[in-house]
Each structure stands twice: as C-alpha cells, then as structure tokens.
Copies of this chain bind each other. A is one copy, B any other.
C-alpha cells in the first residue's frame, strides 16, 4: 500500500516520543543526524508516508507529510514570524481565498507570504514588499521550498513610495510603524475590503488606532489569539507547563470613502 518517496520530497520525521521532529528534503544518499541516531534518506524513501524508520541505534521515527502549520513553525527566519495561531485567523478576517490578490508589507522571513501564497492558489497572486533585499531572498527561498514561489511577486521598495497594485483583495502590514502608511494602503485596496496588521506593543496599537480613525478606516477589530497546548497523555491530561505568553496583537479595519467619513451620529 505504501509507495516509495522520491528525491526532492519534503517530509516530516517525527520521533515516536514526538519530542523530536525534522523537516527533511529527501536526497539520494542523504542522511539525517539526530541526537537519537542517524537515519538514511533511503530508509525514509522506502518507508513512505505512514512508515516507520529506525535510526542506527534503534530509535523509531514516523514519516508523515508536512503541514503548513509545521512548515511555518520550522521556517528559516531572521525575524519574528507570524505564528500559525495568528496566520489562520488572518485568513478568515481578510477573506483570503483561491484566486485572491493579496498585498503584504514587509516580507520579513516570508512566513506569512508562504501562507498567503498557499491559499490564493495558482489563480491568485501575492505581492510582497520589503526594503531589505536580504529578507526578500530568504522569503523567496522559503516560498520555493513550499512550492509556492511562482505565485508571489517580490518587490524591494519602501512602503512610503506606495504600491504598484490597485484593487487588491487584502492588505497585510507587518511593520513597526503602520500608522504612517494608511494612504498607501487605501490606494491599493479594493473598496469594501479589509486590511490587517500585526503589532506587538500597546503603544503601537494606540498610535495605529488613532491613525485608522484619522484615515477613515472603520469596523476596527483588535484581538489577540492564544494557543494553549495540552499534554497528550490520557492518564495525566493537563495543559503544558509553559506557554507562549505573547506574540502580538492583530488589528483589522476597512477603509470607507473619505467623503463618507466621520459625523455619522448614532
């Protein structure tokens, strides 16, 4: 029932204890060195998905197909990246879907770029801006490894110069000072559509909220998403001892026509 895996395939090796996990791009003759022993890529190819391999000293690993959740956690990064808990929620709030055109700035390590590119499909398009060329290179490699690079247009440019695109379906900002660039966002976004931003501090949220109001963005939502894992031992079911206490806050808002802003008694 199993079938050989080919060189070039990206697989997950997870130890039977689940503590050790590896994302591996299979190569003929490759080998993976772990603290639980050495595994040959040939073993993995023969085992196939759902299969088991034993390291040279007898530790068991299972072969599974990597998910985007795992890829995002393991992605090579030089910046703080968006976590899966936030990425999923962003998809729904910005109404990303196959065929959508999504604009993001900055690119960073390309975590969110990869997520957007995965969900817009081959009919959609991601436009990703960053002023730092080295980040764009990293993001490009990260997208390539997940096989979605062809859906992304990377652009080395500072947001203050504006975006080339118009009528995009969503804009996502991962910048330290998004409050400075709301006119550029407005120019790019289709009417009635939503923008999102990730901000770590309350000081930033406060400034951004004021800017959103001044720039006639309405329907503002500020939210944090928390991920609390449980230990998966059925005899001792309980939350994990440690958790991530903070990544950042998500802010979503929709621009209205300037002519319509304000007043609006209620």
Q: Which A residues lie at the B interface, using CB under 8 A?
A: 1-2, 11-12, 14-18, 36, 47-52, 54, 58-60, 62-69, 72, 84-85, 87-95, 97-99, 115, 118-123, 190-194, 200-203, 205-207, 209-210, 213, 218-246, 249, 254-257, 260, 263-266
CB-defined contacts of A49 to chain B, threshold 8 Å: 190-193
Q: Give every chain B residue within 8 A of A255 (Cβ-Cβ).
A: 50
Q: Are A192 and B223 in contact (CB under 8 A)?
A: no
Residue from the list B15, B58, B206, B264 in contact with A52, Cβ < 8 A: B264
- A203, B50: Cβ atoms closer than 8 Å: no
Q: Cβ of A14: which chain B residues have Cβ within 8 Å of it?
A: 218-219
| Nearest CB in chain B: distance from A243 CB, A | 3
Question: Is A230 in contact with B222, judged by CB distance below 8 angstroms?
Answer: yes
Show 6 residue pairs from A and B whose CB-CB distance is below 8 angstroms, ordered by the A residue. A2-B191, A64-B192, A65-B192, A69-B95, A88-B90, A223-B228
Instruction: Known A226-B226, A246-B238; judge A93-B84 contact (CB<8 A).
Output: yes
Stoichiometry, copies per complex = 4
Minimum distance in angstroms from A234 CB to a CB of chain B: 4
- Label chain A's interface by main secondary structure: mixed
What residues of chain B lie closer than 8 Å to A54, measured between beta carbons?
264
Tell me which residues across on chain B come within 8 A of A93, comparing CB atoms. 67, 69, 84
Determine how close the nearest CB of chain B comes to the CB of A99; give it in whole angstroms.
7
Q: A219-B14, A249-B230 are in contact. Are A92 and B68 (CB under 8 A)?
A: yes
Report whether B18 and A51 are in contact in the complex, using a CB–CB cutoff of 8 Å.
no
A243 to B246, CA, bound (A): 8
Residues in chain B near residue A72, CB distance under 8 A: 92
Q: Are A92 and B67 in contact (CB-based, < 8 A)?
A: yes
